[in-house]
Amino acid sequence: MDQRHGPLYDMSALGFAPGGIVCITGAASGIGKATARMAAKSGLTVAAWDIDGPGASSTVDEIAVQGGNALAVTVDVFDEAQVDRAWRETLALGPCHYLVNNAGPPSRSQGRFAERLVEAVGSMERVAERWLSHCGGSAASMVNISSIAGNLQGSGKTVSAFYPAAKAAIAGLTRHMATRLDGRPRVNAVAPGITITPRVEPMLALPAMQDLAMRIPVGRLGFPEDIAGAVLFLLSPAAAYINGVVLPVDGGVTLA
């Protein structure tokens, strides 16, 4: 274990069926990459989606070195036509049982509030709806990556306004889908606290971030693998009776 990564647990004891397939968006980096590697270590075949094609291929290469199976898919999830094409490529693996909606715009993205909001929330809704239309009978569960921002924190000093608005909307989308679909697939969300990923590293020196980091009860920032473990648990049959939750994975900072 180094200062940026936690252990990559084998979660196969959680009941995933042999031959299970998971699609993970934003799998080239950070939380998505850790989730892809942990999913593969747990016996799942991974469709590693990312706008960064070489990055997605690099994740697939690392999974191959681990002895796992994965397919890299280059896609901008904000683009409807590309999402359709990506699902067609992914179906070459077979029907996809699990979805992790992880990719989203960086929290300090500039630009028009409404456009960023639609990118962040609309892309997750679109990827999920296309998944259900292609794989409905096989779809077992999905996890959306939200945030403590917008749900448990205002984050007014650290992120752009669209970000907490989008992450709260993703929580709402999660609850809507969880109750609309009669429990199949189950739909849950994970709300990470500050997690050490390439996206966040440049912000760690901000005074507001340092203040927040010092208040984390477990005494450290999150590792991508901390989030991956929660995602894999919620996806798994071990979480069969958990539906519609937004699970904070934040070291307890929002209670401190």
Ligand X SMILES: NC(=O)c1ccc[n+]([C@@H]2O[C@H](COP(=O)([O-])OP(=O)(O)OC[C@H]3O[C@@H](n4cnc5c(N)ncnc54)[C@H](O)[C@@H]3O)[C@@H](O)[C@H]2O)c1
What does the alpha-carbon distance between residue 205 and residue 51 come to, in Å, rounded to a whole number?
A: 27
Cβ neighbours for 113, distance < 8 A, ≥ 6 positions apart: 161, 162, 165
Ranked by CB distance to ligand X, the top (closest) residue is 30
Q: Does 77 bind ligand X (CB under 6 A)?
A: yes
Contact flag: residue 121 with ligand X (CB under 6 A): no
> Shortest CA distance to 194 belongs to which of 246, 250, 153?
250
For ligand X, give the closer residue by CB, 24 or 139: 24
Can you tell me the distance from the alpha carbon of 153 to that of 54, in angstroms, rounded to the nearest whole number? 35
Site map for ligand X, 167-196, x if CB under 6 A?
-------------------------x-xx-
Tell me the one-letter amino acid at 141. S
The interface region with ligand X, picked from 5-13, 28-36, 63-71, 129-137 by CB under 6 A, is: 28-36
Q: Which residue has the tokens 């084998």?
A: 10
29 near ligand X, rule: CB under 6 A? yes
Backbone CA torsion sign across 166, 168, 174, 176 = negative
And the tokens for 171? 């929580």
Q: Which one of the spans 14-22, 103-111, 131-139, 210-218 is the region binding ligand X (CB under 6 A)? A: 103-111
Size of the site for ligand X (CB under 6 A): 28
With binding defined as CB under 6 A, does residue 229 bind ligand X? no
Q: Which residues are catalytic?
A: 163
Contact in structure between 188 and 141 (CB atoms under 8 Å): yes
Q: Among residues 108 and 136, whose Cβ is nearest to ligand X?
A: 108
Q: Which of 78, 63, 128 is nearest to 99 (CA)?
A: 128
Q: Does 32 bind ligand X (CB under 6 A)?
A: yes
In this chain, which of 158, 197, 236, 243 binds ligand X, going by CB under 6 A? 197
By the criterion CB under 6 A, which residues form the site for ligand X?
A: 25-26, 28-32, 50-52, 55, 75-78, 102-104, 107, 145, 147, 192, 194-195, 197-200
